[in-house]
A and B are shown apart, each in its own frame.
Chain A
Amino acid sequence: MVLGRHFGKIKNKFASIARRIFRKKKDIKIGLYGPVNSGKTTLANKICMDWLGEELGVVSVIPHETREVQMKEKVTMNVGGKSLSFALVDIPGIATKIDFEDFMRYGLKRSEAKQRAKEATRGVIEAIKWLDEMDMVLVVLDSTRNPLDQVNITILGNLDARKTPFIIVSNKIDIKKSDTTRVRNSFPGYDVIGVSAKTGAMMRELYRMVLKKI
């Protein structure tokens, strides 16, 4: 049984490598990963608005608003004479815990909160499954929170292990207690950029980094 599990993992790994090799350039997928409520959908909306003129998903203060993978294909980015066409994938936030009672604090009824919790657990599982599909990842962190959260460390460790290129996006720099230096110091050696998906600050620089990285 253990051998079978290992064989399955090896088979998946080979399938993933084969997919990467034979995937056409136009099928490039850029995923937005990160913990819950770090502003992934706000960033996805900003990117889509900038390059497509339409938004991707609904934003909410209630955690786990994005509970299903959302994708916008044929996003074409043009910066400084360079161009890139890709599919933007907004991934549900990754969490190690989901308590329906937390949702009730936001005014949700017990049954609604339980349903949301159920969907959120499926969202986390989906997020993990999609890790192998990405050609590049923007790891979106809330720069007002402690970056040394295990979820962040696990995401970065997985991307590192898969050799998936990624940029750490220290979001919400428009908020006074935002601290991108703390994010940078927490993850030395990685590409970190502070942006505000809400106001659009530093988005141009992020686009330049994406084009340089991929």
Chain B
Amino acid sequence: MLRIKLVRYEKIKSGQANILKDLKEGTIIIVDAKFTPSEETNLIHETMEFISDKFSGIELGSVSQYNLKGTLFGKFRDMLGELVMGKRMGITVIGPAKLVRRIESHPEDILLYL
């Protein structure tokens, strides 16, 4: 059975949610914020530590609420959102690689290939 879990960004940030445990158990995680590049690399780093015969890693995709990636105004909006809300507005989808074949992150949507 396919399991999808919506996790609040604040719970991950505060260490209350162990998404790697969920991912290892075959759950697809949807986070209500866009991870920062540094959070993404931290997640990849942690994932690599847990690679085994049963867990081959993750597929990851994120989309910003603002379709302004790379522009100065987009960065300003991201920064403002981060300051006010404490997180980057958008969503991040993470799936176990054994379950999710590929995730494509487009500027306005995310595609999951199961």
List residues of A whose CB falls within 8 A of some B CB: 1-2, 94-100, 114, 117-118, 121-122, 124-125, 128, 131, 146, 148-150, 153-154, 157-158, 160-161, 187-190
Contacts and interface: CB of A to CB of B under 8 A. Distances in A.
Q: Please tell me the size bucket of the interface on B.
A: 20 to 34
**Leading 8 A-B pairs by shortest Cβ distance:** A97-B57, A157-B37, A97-B97, A99-B56, A158-B37, A121-B48, A154-B40, A189-B70
Contact residues of B: prevailing secondary structure: mixed
A143 to B, nearest CB: 17
Contact of B105 (A94, A150, A158): A150
A99 B97 CA distance: 9
Nearest to B50: A121
A97 B51 CA distance: 8
Interface of B: 14-15, 36-38, 40-41, 44-45, 47-49, 51, 53, 56-62, 70-71, 97-98, 103-106
Contact of B44 (A122, A154, A187): A154
Contacts of A98: 48, 51, 56-57
Given A150-B61, A153-B105, A125 B45 contact: yes
Contact of A97 (B14, B53, B56): B56
A148 B70 CA distance: 14
18 contacts: A96-B44, A96-B59, A96-B97, A97-B56, A98-B51, A98-B57, A99-B56, A99-B57, A125-B49, A131-B41, A150-B40, A150-B59, A154-B37, A154-B60, A158-B40, A158-B41, A161-B38, A188-B70
B82 to A, nearest CB: 12
